[in-house]
Each structure stands twice: as C-alpha cells, then as structure tokens.
Amino acid sequence: MANPVILTVDDDPVVSRAVARDLRRRYGERYRVIRAGSGPEALEALREIKLRGEQVALLLADHRMPGMTGIEFLEAAMDLFPAARRVLLTAYADTDAAIEAINVVDLDHYLLKPWHPPEEKLYPVVDGLLETWAATPDAAMAEIRVVGHRWSAPSFKVRDFLARNLIPYRWLLSDEPEGARLLAAAGATEADVPLVVTDEGKTLISPTQAELAGAVGLTVEPTTDFYDLVVIGGGPAGLGSAVYAASEGLRTILVERRATGGQAGQSSRIENYLGFPDGVSGAQLTDRARRQALKFGAELLSTREVVGLTEAGGARLLRFDDGAEIAAHTVVLATGVSYRVLAAPGASDFTGRGVFYGAVSTEAPSCVDQEVYIVGGANSAGQAAVYFSRYAAKVHLLVRGPDLTASMSRYLIDQIERSDRVVVHTHTEVVGAAGGDHLEQLTLCNSRTGERRTVDTSWLFVFIGAEPRTDWLDGVVTRDPRGFVVTGPDLVVDGKRPPGWSLSRDPYHLETSLPGVFAAGDVRSQSVKRVASAVGEGAMAVSLVHRYLEAQ
C-alpha cells in the first residue's frame, strides 16, 4: 500500500511550496506530501485518494482562500477522511476563526504564520498529530469489510459495534456480487453472515464482540493485574475519570463492555456542552476524550464486562464475566444507564431488524425518503428526531405526556418546532409491532381517547427512560429502590453510617458504602443526567481517590 498522505492547501504558491518543502524534508520518507492550490482542487484530490483505497493522515489548510475557506474545506474533508488530523494555517488576526474551527470541524491544532523555525513551531505539532493518527484503530484498519443481510440482527450488531468504536468499514450485502465473492472466498454461505474481512485478509464468521475487538486493534487484555484505579464504564463520567487520573500519575485502566462514549457517544449533536457553541457530535467528543486518556497513559479495555466486586484487604478485586480478575486500590463506578426495553407485543422480535435502542447512526442513510418513528420525550429523543429529519421524509416523535417541556431542553424543542419534517404526537404509545423478516407495522394508541391506529414503517428508535446496570452490585454497595448507587451524605441516615462501614470518617461525597469505591455520572443516585455534570463528577471522583489513597 502507498504511503499515507499529508495534504496541504494554500492559494499562495510561495507559501504552498514552502509548507510542502518543510514537510517533505522531515516526513518525505514515510508520507506522500501533496499540495493543492484551492479547496475544490484539494477535495478532488481527496476523492481520488479515497477511490484508490489509500489513507490520509494529515490535512493542513490555509484559512483565507477565495471561494472556499480553510474551515469550509476541512469540514468537507471530514466526510471523506474523518480520521485524518486537521490543522488550520492562519495569521494572528484570524485566531478567532481558528478558535471557531475547533468547534465546527473538530480542529486538532492551528498554526500561526510564519511557522519558522519549523524545528520549533511546525515539526513538534505535526509529530504529535501523526503519532496520534498512527495509534488509532482507524489508521490500522482502513478497509474492513462487513458482509451481511440488510435485516439481520447479528449483522446490525457488528456494524453498530464498529461504528460506536469509530472503526471505519465497508458494508456489503450478501446477495450482491462483491459480497457473494467475499463469502465464496472465505468458504462461507449466506447462512454464515455476518462475515468480517480485515485489511490483512483475515476472515471472521459471526464473530463475538471480543473477537471483533481484537481483530480491529482494540485492547482486550490488561497489561498487569494491579492498578491504582479501575474505572468501570466508558461514558463521559468514566472517560473524565480516566483522563484526570492518568494525567495525575495514577496507574489507571478503564473497562468498557461495549464502546466508549456511552449514550452520549451516540448523540448526533450535543449543543449545550460548555465550550462548543456550535455543538459537537457525541462521536467527536468521545474520540477526543479517548485520545486524551491514551495520551496520558491510561489503558482502555474493550468488550470486557465486570460482574463482581469484592473487598480484599486494602485492595478491591474485580471479576470479569470470563472468570479473569484484576485488583486495584480504588474503583470508580461509571456504568451509566441503558434504555428500557419497549414492552409492546411483538417489538422484541424485531430488535436490530427495525426496532433499535438509541440513535443508531449506521441506519440513518437507509432511512432516506422513509417515515421514521421515535419513542421518547427527553433530550436524547429530541436529538435523534433532529438528526433523522436530515434523511427521512417524515419523523414522528411519540410522547406519552401532553408536551415536550417536562424533560426536553428548550433549544431542542425550538429546533423541532421549526422543522417541517418532525411531527410530535402527544399522549401516544406504541402498543404493537408486526412484520415478516423485519418491522413493517406499528400499532399506536392515544392514551386519552383510547383510539388505536396502525401505521406502516420499517424504523422505530426507542428512548424510553433509563435503568442502571447495577444488578451485579447487589449486596456489595447500597443502591436506591431503582438500582442507582447511593453515595456520600445520602449514606448517613440519622447520624449513622452505612452498615459494614469500617472507617472512622463519613463517606466522601461520591464514595459508596464500600470504602475506596466511588460512583460518578448517571449511575449515581440523584445525579444530574447531563454530559457536563457527568464529566465533572468523573474528575471530582479522582480528587477523592487521591484523598482516600493519602489516608491509607
């Protein structure tokens, strides 16, 4: 395969040649440095590179270009090569534009002109970005192919796993020529799908998540058996804990059973997160946090589920579902919550075949010009409605209550009201689902009038409430009646500490009834269910971990 590409874009020929010269001098042996004189010319070059199946590691664009600015180019280039690192070259007077680009195109860095000497101002920046790009699974697995049936639940699970872990792949139907050729080459049949073929030609037939994770370069085994801190859960709270703990020198491992990001990672756009006035996708925010954690030395363990937690002297022992164990001085529980399963008759038969839980970005392009139904009245449902309205002919938002104001942010309500593609149905519930090899019909009921009606659709996305995944903690830490973990002052009732509490002090604010074990984010009882508060609690938990360790 050809060397990865570094692409520079500048309409000033003198500057363009100078940038390319400095880049070739240091990186020419390992990368192909290509320069373009305009945004459209650069996009055409990227399309050709994409068709050849080659990789782009770095995009460096001048901001002030006629016809298409550097920000506009980088935004368009993200659709072709989302894993490429992005740099804006700008004059001092344009630093406001560079700061804007951090939000609009998830900019990695901006360089001020002049960048000389390059040894001080250019190469250290590019070195770091190229190292980050090379370390991502995206760089190592650029041509993963997945062969499956359109309405196969196992095929959907593979695609969803890859998408949520930000692993690029090509989706091929088993009854199309290329998909059939791959099945034949692997000695498989349509009954064996999903088939996964890595860029190295390795084939996996109906792989487990652990097998798939190992094949695409995710870490599935810890490097040691003892840590200062184990973080369980890779949502905003868990990633926040991992970043702050690792940056402060604690031996940290984050254990995630599926994919980092949690529910927030599935959000098409989060618009009320501090510092991102133009919004940021959950995937972008997750990618940044994951890279930060890895940069500071945290281990991120994928497809491993913790099913047991016990006290072993001064250590906390954690058991995985395969029987393996690791131990740590402290633990942060950041397992978040999961959406409740729709109880309507027939709905469970179509999970992954028309009925989906959460905003499944992999399905959005298939919804073009079709009617989509979404169940839920909170922010996650609102974000999904706005997102799918870009693709679907009509999005029907089904809400049990009289309106959206009880649980949805005002900015989302305003967007929904402005959209002519989103229709809100109040006092409406799904009471039935039917179809053949996939969902074909829903039965809806108006809870006020009792009226029922049947609608034709192949798409239902469910966002109904949230349940903590804490059954495995029964008898280990105190939980409230709904299963959320109780922490801090709430554990002290009538001046009495929780049963079995062995220390002479009260529990710290985020500490559970088991000393040295903390809870952060949505899994914690009485927490604020927002991304920003989850990140804050994750960071706060690390400060309490330090206090706990210093007292031992």
Domains of the chain as residue ranges with CATH? 5-135 (3.40.50.2300), 140-215 (3.40.30.10), 226-338+515-551 (3.50.50.60), 347-462 (3.50.50.60)
- What span, in angstroms and rounded, lies between the C-alpha atoms of 260 and 287? 9
Q: What's the token pair of residue 543?
A: 């400060």
Q: Express each pLDDT in 387-411 by its tens digit.
A: 999 999 999 999 999 999 999 999 9
The whole-number average pLDDT for the span 62-78 is: 88
End-to-end CA distance of the chain: 54
Taking 70 as the threshold, does the pLDDT of residue 386 lie above it? yes
- The average confidence (pLDDT) of the chain is 91
Look at 81 and 104; give whichever has higher pLDDT.
Answer: 81
The whole-number pLDDT of residue 418 equals 95
Residue 141 — pLDDT band, cuts 50, 70, 90?
very low
The whole-number average pLDDT for the span 445-454 is: 96
The whole-number pLDDT of residue 6 equals 97
Q: What's the token pair of residue 169?
A: 């792949």
The whole-number average pLDDT for the span 370-380 is: 95
The whole-number average pLDDT for the span 34-44 is: 95
User: What are the phi and psi torsion angles at 395 (to 5°)?
Assistant: -115, 125
User: What are the phi and psi torsion angles at 432 (to 5°)?
Assistant: -170, 150
- What span, in angstroms and rounded, lies between the C-alpha atoms of 417 and 67? 34
The whole-number average pLDDT for the span 336-357 is: 93
Taking 60 as the threshold, does the pLDDT of residue 82 lie above it? yes
Taking 70 as the threshold, does the pLDDT of residue 471 lie above it? yes
Taking 50 as the threshold, does the pLDDT of residue 137 lie above it? yes
Give the β-pairing of 252-255 and 226-232. Answer: parallel
71 closest CA partner among 24, 39, 25: 39
Cα-Cα-Cα-Cα torsion 239, 244, 247, 248, nearest 10 degrees, comes to: -150
- What span, in angstroms and rounded, lies between the C-alpha atoms of 338 and 482? 13
- Side chain identity at residue 379, one-letter code: N
User: What are the phi and psi torsion angles at 543 (to 5°)?
Assistant: -65, -35
- What span, in angstroms and rounded, lies between the C-alpha atoms of 30 and 2? 10
Taking 90 as the threshold, does the pLDDT of residue 109 lie above it? no
The whole-number average pLDDT for the span 200-227 is: 92
Residue 1 — pLDDT band, cuts 50, 70, 90?
low
The whole-number pLDDT of residue 93 equals 55
Taking 70 as the threshold, does the pLDDT of residue 51 lie above it? no
User: What are the phi and psi torsion angles at 26 (to 5°)?
Assistant: -100, -30
Look at 515 and 262; give whichever has higher pLDDT.
Answer: 515
Helix residue spans in 63-151 (DSSP H): 70-80, 95-104, 118-121, 123-135, 137-140
- What span, in angstroms and rounded, lies between the C-alpha atoms of 68 and 47? 17
The whole-number pLDDT of residue 97 equals 64
> What percent of the chain stands above pLDDT 90?
67
Q: Express each pLDDT in 284-325 by its tens digit.
A: 888 889 999 999 999 999 999 999 999 999 999 999 999 999
- What span, in angstroms and rounded, lies between the C-alpha atoms of 324 and 446? 50
The whole-number pLDDT of residue 262 equals 82
- What span, in angstroms and rounded, lies between the C-alpha atoms of 494 and 505? 15
The whole-number pLDDT of residue 351 equals 95
Most confident of 142-156, 239-253, 283-297, 458-472: 239-253
The whole-number average pLDDT for the span 156-179 is: 89
The whole-number average pLDDT for the span 411-431 is: 96
The whole-number pLDDT of residue 140 equals 44
Cα-Cα-Cα-Cα torsion 320, 323, 328, 333, nearest 10 degrees, comes to: 20
Most confident of 94-103, 128-137, 208-217: 208-217
Q: Which residues contact 120 (CB under 8 A, 6 or more apart)?
A: none
The whole-number pLDDT of residue 200 equals 75
The whole-number pLDDT of residue 104 equals 61
The whole-number pLDDT of residue 90 equals 85
Cα-Cα-Cα-Cα torsion 509, 515, 518, 524, nearest 10 degrees, comes to: -70
> What percent of the chain stands above pLDDT 70?
95
Give CA 368 to chain center in angstroms. Answer: 23
